[in-house]
Amino acid sequence: MYTNTGYRDLTDEELADDSLPLKANSCGVYRLITRPVMSTIRPSGRPDYQILYIASGKAWFTFQKKAIEVPAGNMVLYKPHQPQQYAYYLKDKPEIFWLHFTGSESPLLTSKAGFEAGQILYTGVSSKYQELFLSIIQEIQLPRPCFEDLTALYLRQLFLLLNRQKQEGGSQKTEIQKEMEKTVHYFHENFSIDIEISHYARNLHMSTCWFIRSFKQYTGMPPRQYLTSIRVKKAQELLESTDYGVGEIGSIVGYDNPLYFSRIFKKQTGISPAEYRKAAR
């Protein structure tokens, strides 16, 4: 399992402390690689708030003894001491970002974001959300001066983006959003083949320009860049969990030329596939 997490060493009393307007307590991202399932059960919940963002794949949440499938493009909120039960399955290819927070402004901010209607909020798939979660993780991992203020700022920015989406009427899926959601799923299932963007757009009866614009609006990046990010993430998983050669892994994720694969990988991650494998192990 791939994890990237940032934890603060806080007691339950400190987790529940709302003397500050907003405070990020811990944050992380999970991606299953070989583990078949990961489940969480907290009958009494936690002392603080928790948001989970399904960035890709899907997760399963149990509310009032009923299991509900929550696909990518949704966030789930748990309030303090609210019972929690959820699971991720390898077959669903999930990537889940999570965040624990507290503060006197938490009730108002979560309500303005759109959670007053329920625990599940449709947000769409956007790299902006992922960037904010990753920024919070990095600040908590290396607590430099002003890190508490910065993590609170990133968290507030997340709520502002959700509030904007709500005010713009983005809490309900449009037909375009539904098509883009299907596209994201298709890309994740078929990333290893050569997907011709213009041909795919034509099958949706869209112009290439309109398709690219709609996809970027939905995910935060153009379709070709999104495909590259999927391939690089899959390559990272294979480098971490298998002994396949770099050329073999490149072929698996859709790059027949090993040199081109290595160049793309380094451009996306900052290091070569071989260096990544060495660091991961």
H or E segment to which residue 15 belongs? helix 12-16
CA distance 47 to 11: 10
What's the confidence (pLDDT) of residue 171? 54
Residue 214 CB burial class (10 angstroms; 0-12, 13-18, ≥19): buried
95 to 38, 118, 200, 220, 271: CA distances (angstroms)? 12, 22, 25, 17, 22
What's the confidence (pLDDT) of residue 211? 93
* Residue 58, helix vs strand vs coil: strand
**Structure-token pair, residue 207:** 């112009």
The rounded average pLDDT for each run of 10 residues, N- to C-terminus, in the chain (281 residues) is 85 91 95 88 96 94 93 94 95 93 96 91 87 94 93 97 82 73 88 92 91 88 92 90 92 94 93 89 69
Contact by Cβ (8 Å): 92, 59: yes
CA distance 113 to 54: 17
